Amino acid sequence: MQRLPREFDPRRVFLRFGIRTVILVTFAAFGSIGFGRSLATLLAMSAILCVVLALARRETIFQSALNHWDEATAYAALYFLSVAVNLSSPL
């Protein structure tokens, strides 16, 4: 059985984050409840997904390398920013 690497290259993490964000924005553009609420909902779900992945991979929370915990923090920050701009929470 092949073991997954414990640390990712930071460029790979930034690329993964960027691609996911572009996908989220694309799906939010076609959301039936409006772009802002759709984006906020997708960002919240992405943050939860990253937390679940970090727990499944048993990543440490304050590691020197970037990991899923850092992605979850970034998605949560974007969620709260989108909620503040829209002045309404979808959740």
pLDDT in tens, 44-78: 999 999 999 999 998 888 888 888 899 999 999 99
Tell whether the model's pLDDT for residue 37 goes beyond 60: yes
pTM of the predicted protein model: 0.83
The whole-number pLDDT of residue 73 equals 95
| Three-state helix/strand/coil letters over 4-49 | CCCCCCHHHHHHHHHHHHHHHHHHHHCCCCCHHHHHHHHHHHHHHH
